[in-house]
Structure 1
Amino acid sequence: MLNKIFSAYVRLRYGKMHWSLRYYYRDTYYCIAVQAKYLLRDYIFKPKYKVTSFDGEFAPELQFALPFAYWHHKNGTLKKTESSKFTRELYFFSPAHEEKYDTRRPEGNYNFEMPRILYSQDYDMNKWAQVPLKETYQNNVYVFDKPVLVIANRYNMEWDGPPISFFSIELLDHIISELKDRYTIIYNRPRPQNITMDNSDIYDMDEYSWLEKTHPEVILLENLWRENRAKANNFNHLQLQVYANASKFLSIHGGTATLASYFGGTNIILSKQGPEHHFGCYHKLYPKFSGAQILHAKNDDEVKQFIRNY
């Protein structure tokens, strides 16, 4: 009944908007309504009752599920957290964390127990707290002579089609040539065996051999994983350790960009299309993760321009 009411309201107020965007507006209202039933437990009585469980994709977990759980931790109401494999270090604050799910499901994104899901017209959220991943995982191991710049790439199926937003070999060559004298560059594009998969196929760019031949000065994160000098428990843990010592990032929309936005500094995000553009996520939501400066590039030329200017 609530969904019907919210759907009717959104249709009346935003009727000219494309149908593929309208239901995100409806879902925002529904999320707010669901949280109302916890008013007494969250703000008055505060028992340790909340179990957060999330098996959706990596980006919405970082955007909504993790800060929601951390808010309950700070509020004294967190009892347990449940998520996918390789997430224990993300939920370092949890009194009891279970890596319950072997895969991530797109359907898991629609978890209305969160204060928001996916995209929203309103990112002024209650029950959402900044998670101090940088402060937690800074270390003396991944320290270099020059400041660290992380290039966090991806080359995945997008919207059931071929990759759209990614740093091509041509663009990588430009980025590295421009910045290698000033930064220690660490390149990261996780292989399927190192992360919990969802429904997006990961393709091969064949850039690793090219990097080792053309730009041997670039450090490959997967090589750091083989060495594992900081004794990371898994590849996600290593990412946290390395990213925590960096303040400059270039990343691709989705979970890649979301994680990079958790560590302050400046993050140039390449996103050529997606609902994020309509909802202004890179300006309204992403700076909240750590106070990072977020620069949204819509094409390769804008990436080059941001590099020159910032």
Structure 2
Amino acid sequence: MRSDLRYFIRDNYYCRLNQVKYLFKDYFVKKQYKVVDYHGEFDQELRYILPFAYWHHVNGTLEKTISCKNTKEFYFFSKNHEEKYTERVWQAGYNYYEVPNMTHSNTFDYSKWLRVPLKKQYTNSIFVYDKPILIIANKYNIEWDKPPVNYLDIPTLDKLISSLKGKYQIIYNRPLAQQIVGDNSETLDLNEHDWIRKTHPDVLLMSDLYQQHSSQVNNYNHLQLMVYANCNRFISMHGGTAAFASYFEGINIILSDPIGGMEHHFNEYETIFPQLSGAKILHARNREEVLQHVFTHY
């Protein structure tokens, strides 16, 4: 392992070692005591925090969960969930050793980590169409303090939609800045929503569904959970978008350019991402590979 990556593994092993002090409470006393409090990156919350909290729920040791605004639906199993934070702070994930896994690693500890059954919990009869759903979960924001890298531009979207709309009911999802809790990654404007409405009117936009079903959902995250739960085909982008889509089984094509992010170095698209639900993960390193995976598997 490269020397500049070893500290990730060091931190993850320290997280596991730190769990020794809870051995008696977790396996012998087994009373409700654990307070899971987190407001860092959405990706880390989905990969590490949520499965850890769910394990404590099943184990009978979960007392309370604390997270950001509009996260109650993710923690549906928690009888005492507080939406305390209005903003995500990426630094909150550093030096946070209260869960067995907290950062990138070549191996993960699943002894206090359980799949969260979001698909089973939110499968519904509302978002059902004549054709099976395919979700394109795009993003367009600053990454690693640099211009956007992992996103589908309009020409690529046009190729995807044109080739898939005959077989699938495509739902396009790129949340607007006001619809989700922000972090350090500034959301930019790709100007694709109006283009999709005009060029591909049979494609449903998640933001439009939110307006149409506002009386049936509690917030934008609740809508996403309900729509994703009814879907088995996803195209998603590096980060929280990819982790979220990996929670719902089926196949998830993830665009993740090796230019940034540590998932590549630690082979995480073959370890923890499939573990989230048993989904088949297909890693695309560029837009051309996204198209290749789509034409082969969809």
TM-score, length basis structure 1: 0.93
In the alignment, does 2:265 pair up with 1:281? no
Q: How does 1:162-181 map to 2 (within 5 A)?
A: 162-181=147-166
In the alignment, does 2:71 pair up with 1:87? yes
**Is the contact between residue 11 and residue 103 of structure 2 (CA under 8 Å) also seen in structure 1?**
no
* Alignment-derived partner of residue 182 in structure 1: 167
Superposed CA offset, 1:67-118 (max 9, x none):
0000000000000000001100000000200001111011111221011112
* 2:198 maps to which of 205, 213, 218: 213
**Is the contact between residue 137 and residue 174 of structure 2 (CA under 8 Å) also seen in structure 1?**
yes
Deviation at 1:60, TM superposition (A): 0.3
**Is the contact between residue 69 and residue 81 of structure 1 (CA under 8 Å) also seen in structure 2?**
yes
Q: How does 1:70-85 map to 2 (within 5 A)?
A: 70-85=54-69
TM-score, length basis structure 2: 0.97
Q: What are structure 2's unaligned runs of at least 5 residues?
A: none
Deviation at 1:300, TM superposition (A): 1.1
Q: Partners of 1:192 and 1:60 in 2: how far apart?
A: 20
* Alignment-derived partner of residue 138 in structure 2: 153
Superposed CA offset, 1:104-133 (max 9, x none):
011111221011112112124210000000
In the alignment, does 2:18 pair up with 1:34? yes
* Alignment-derived partner of residue 293 in structure 1: 280
* Alignment-derived partner of residue 35 in structure 2: 51
Q: Partners of 2:191 and 2:124 in 1: how far apart?
A: 31
Count of aligned pairs between the two proteins: 294
Deviation at 1:281, TM superposition (A): 1.1
Superposed CA offset, 1:156-180 (max 9, x none):
1000010001011111111101100
Equivalent pairs: percent with the same residue?
A: 52
Q: Which amino acid counterpart does residue 118 of structure 1 have in structure 2?
A: T
Runs of 4+ in 1 over 4 A off after TM superposition: none
Q: Partners of 2:276 and 2:215 in 1: how far apart?
A: 25
In the alignment, does 2:189 pair up with 1:198? no
Deviation at 1:22, TM superposition (A): 1.8
SS in 2 for 1:108: helix
Deviation at 1:230, TM superposition (A): 6.5
SS in 2 for 1:278: coil
SS in 1 for 2:141: coil
Q: What are structure 1's unaligned runs of at least 5 residues?
A: 1-13
**Is the contact between residue 141 and residue 230 of structure 1 (CA under 8 Å) also seen in structure 2?**
no
Q: Partners of 2:108 and 2:14 in 1: how far apart?
A: 14
**RMSD of equivalent CA atoms:** 1.0
**Is the contact between residue 141 and residue 229 of structure 1 (CA under 8 Å) also seen in structure 2?**
no
* Alignment-derived partner of residue 25 in structure 1: 9
Cα distance change on mapping 1:240 and 1:114 into 2, 3 Å: same
